[in-house]
Amino acid sequence: MPMFRSATPSQNGSNSNIHSAVHSAVHSRAHSPSDFDTSYDDSLRAQLKVRGLLPPHVESFELQKARCLEQIAQKSNTIDKYTYLSNLRNTNTNLFYRLLMDNMKEITPLVYTPVVGEACLKWSHIYTQPEGLYLSYADRGNLRAVLDNWPAEKVDITVVTDGSRILGLGDLGVNGMGIPVGKLALYTGCAGIHPERTLPITLDLGTENEENLKDPLYLGAKMHRVTEAESLEFLDEMMIALNDKWPGLVVQFEDFKNPFPSLERYRNTYTCFNDDIQGTGAVILSGMINALKLTGIPFKDQRLVFMGAGSAAVGVAKQIVQLFVKNGIPEDEARRMFWLVDSKGMVTDDRGDKLQEHKVYFSRDDNEGKQYKTLEEVVDLVRPTGLMGLCTIGGVFTESILRKMASFNDRPIIFPLSNPSSKSECTFAQAMEFTNNKAIFASGSPFPEVEADGVTYYPGQGNNMYVFPGIGLGTVLCESVHVTQEMIYASAVGLADSLTEEERAKSWLYPSLDRIRDISVSVARHVIRASQAENLDKNKTLQWLSDADLDTYIRTKMYNPAHEHSPAGSPTREIHGFDTKPHSKF
């Protein structure tokens, strides 16, 4: 959708610049970029007053997509493909989402990981047009007024980052805007959240990235990061302003270096969740649910080693603890089935350093005074059934470690979960080669299948896009007051349950991304039921629907770019399949 309501000429600009600005403002009010769609028939073109402004041939969706795919193929590198798709999303939203939905496996890596990492690194250098809302520390005390500049009257969901820990790339400051932009594109493509009801937000609270501070093209404030107390004060103002402007909207926090304070601060006051902690945990939990079935080892005998003890690792581990508890293992016993390793070695009570608060829950006290400094030492000690990687150290799952995992287990669980691909703890090919093709594998980044002895093996990818779109959709549809841990857990169960019999027969951990909308329906239904069970849902009418009817309801509420043909402002224009009404969330 157009980002600006009008053009404001500079007071120091020439008359010609002023006239140009006024002309642009008038023209922008006359036409939306989405009006220029070559699939519109003559009647719609006449209604939109674009006859003669479009080439005369009325094209099918298939022809449009063929041209897009041809143009993508002609781009010489991935960042050019990213910028082409970004421009397409801003100039013909419906065509972009038709392309994404019909080519999910091919387009998603170009829209989000891994290419979005490169885009964020270069954001200030490839910038051409606004794609979200920047809330600057300089605007503190005035954030509610800044929100009024956003052109959408209704927002259902926002993704917020402060750019302090983008993927595995570190502090990128405002260059992290690519993350909320990409995440919300997947909310729309995967779960049908209407693009006009989404809001990407990047907080400019400074940066500790010296390259950014020295870069003349860097688009953020040239200052070091504010203190944690100042950051939380800023977030307090933002959360109040957001909920005053759009009451009940869902806030997803993303890529904060320390994500725990904001989540703990707001989870019981606002409708919010953190995808790095909860979404990552849910999608990996879902993969583990299916992986544990394949090992044949009882839950009580599982031993899981984590390489990485940051927020994402702890979030994943706590989700799996919940699975064990729900299957009859006392919590204190369940948490002791985990061994976490960070840059200083195995996390223990007597290691000599002050542990970050989130690590304490899994800290070991049974090491008898001995400190284990490397991952391989811990693997030798524990003889784990599963090895999880969330440390962003590429190749840390060495040949020696992988061969040991295969010697300990008939079907070792190997989950190198770090993004992007260069940070993955091992590749799928390495995991299969060094375990004699026995590994039960899931990664955070995509890897190609492996051919061995006439058999094709397919890697699982524990991509958060399996769950967070459905979490958001379910939360919005039932108008849940909060996003609770039970709802996050339910999203994992919904994903695990979405496998087809054919996929289970192939020992897949995750379903095909070609079915992402059906998957999101399953996730959303489970999230809605969990919210209802806790009496957090404000849309009580959904409680009376059977599961089958609820699935139908969810599908009818999902944005379908193939059906968005009526002009903006028309009373027949539909959002999520229903005529919009002032009191409706959709």
Do residues 412 and 499 share a domain? Answer: no
Do residues 511 and 401 share a domain? Answer: no
Q: What is the mean pLDDT of the chain?
A: 90
Residue 343 belongs to a domain: yes
Do residues 430 and 364 share a domain? Answer: yes
What gap in Å lies between CA 381 and CA 312, rounded to an integer? 24
Its pTM stands at 0.86
> 201 is in which domain, residue-wise?
112-270
DSSP H helices, 112-207, are: 115-121, 123-126, 143-147, 178-191
Q: How far is CA 189 from CA 80, 231, 470, in A?
A: 21, 32, 11
CATH number at residue 401: 3.40.50.720
Residue 459 belongs to a domain: yes
CA 534 to chain centre: 25
Mean pLDDT of 246-253: 96
Cis check for the bond before 114: say yes or no (omega within 30 of 0).
yes
3-state secondary structure of 339: strand
CATH number at residue 58: 1.20.1370.30
Residues of the chain with pLDDT > 70, as a percent, come to 91
Do residues 260 and 134 share a domain? Answer: yes
Per-residue confidence (pLDDT) for residue 419, from 0 to 100: 77
Residue 255 belongs to a domain: yes
Q: Is-contact 347 341, C-beta < 8 A?
A: yes
Residue 124 belongs to a domain: yes
Q: What are phi and psi of 147, to 5 degrees?
A: -60, -30
Give the residue carrying structure tokens 């421009």. 87
How many helical (H) and strand (E) elements, i.e. helices and strands, does the chain have? Answer: 24, 16
Binding site, annotated residues for a divalent metal cation: 254-255, 276
Say yes or no to pLDDT of 559 above 80. Answer: yes
In the listed set 270, 302, 332, which residue is the last one of a domain according to the structure? 270
Edge-to-edge strands of the sheet including 133-136?
Answer: 133-136, 198-204, 157-161, 250-253, 272-274
Say yes or no to pLDDT of 586 above 80. Answer: no
Residues labelled as active-site residues: 112, 183
Under 8 Å CB-to-CB from 42, ≥6 apart: which residues? Answer: 51, 58
What gap in Å lies between CA 521 and CA 478, rounded to an integer? 13
pLDDT in tens, 316-363: 999 999 999 999 999 999 999 999 999 999 999 999 899 999 999 999
pLDDT in tens, 279-323: 988 999 999 999 999 999 999 999 999 999 988 899 899 999 999
pLDDT grade for 584, boundaries at 50, 70 and 90:
very low
CA 515 to chain centre: 17
Host H or E run for residue 429: helix 428-434
Do residues 56 and 182 share a domain? Answer: no
Per-residue confidence (pLDDT) for residue 198, from 0 to 100: 98
Say yes or no to pLDDT of 420 above 90. Answer: no
Mean pLDDT of 171-198: 97
Is the sign of the CA dihedral 575, 576, 577, 581 positive or negative? negative
Residues in the chain: 586
Q: What are phi and psi of 26, to 5 degrees?
A: -60, -45
Per-residue confidence (pLDDT) for residue 492, from 0 to 100: 97
Say yes or no to pLDDT of 418 above 50. Answer: yes
Say yes or no to pLDDT of 463 above 90. Answer: no
Do residues 260 and 301 share a domain? Answer: no
Do residues 252 and 313 share a domain? Answer: no
Give the residue carrying structure tokens 């790339």. 169
Per-residue confidence (pLDDT) for residue 582, from 0 to 100: 31
- Token pair listed for 227: 């203190």
Per-residue confidence (pLDDT) for residue 30, from 0 to 100: 60
Residue 508 belongs to a domain: yes
Do residues 446 and 368 share a domain? Answer: yes
Per-residue confidence (pLDDT) for residue 315, from 0 to 100: 86
Residue 121 belongs to a domain: yes
Pick the closest to residue 437 from 422, 459, 416 (CA basis): 459
Cis check for the bond before 459: say yes or no (omega within 30 of 0).
no
Number of domains comprising the chain: 4
Binding site, annotated residues: 165, 254-255, 276, 419, 463
Residue 5 belongs to a domain: no
Residue 355 belongs to a domain: yes
Strand pairing category for 413-416 and 440-443: parallel
Do residues 245 and 293 share a domain? Answer: no
Per-residue confidence (pLDDT) for residue 565, from 0 to 100: 60
What gap in Å lies between CA 88 and CA 81, rounded to an integer? 11
Say yes or no to pLDDT of 541 above 50. Answer: yes
Q: What are phi and psi of 374, to 5 degrees?
A: -125, 160
Do residues 457 and 471 share a domain? Answer: no
CATH number at residue 231: 3.40.50.10380
Give the residue carrying structure tokens 């079915």. 515
In the listed set 463, 497, 524, which residue is the last one of a domain according to the structure? 463
pLDDT in tens, 29-85: 467 878 899 999 999 999 999 999 999 999 999 999 999 999 999 999 999 999 999
Do residues 49 and 170 share a domain? Answer: no
Q: What are phi and psi of 133, to 5 degrees?
A: -115, 125
Mean pLDDT of 516-542: 98
Do residues 180 and 78 share a domain? Answer: no
Binding site, annotated residues for (S)-malate: 165, 419, 463
Q: Is 429 exposed, middle or buried (0-12, 13-18, 19+ CB in 10 A)?
A: middle
Say yes or no to pLDDT of 583 above 50. Answer: no
Say yes or no to pLDDT of 213 above 60. Answer: yes
Question: If you ran DSSP here, which 8-state letter would residue 450 be given?
Answer: E
Say yes or no to pLDDT of 391 above 90. Answer: yes
In the listed set 80, 108, 136, which residue is the last one of a domain according to the structure? 108
Per-residue confidence (pLDDT) for residue 421, from 0 to 100: 82
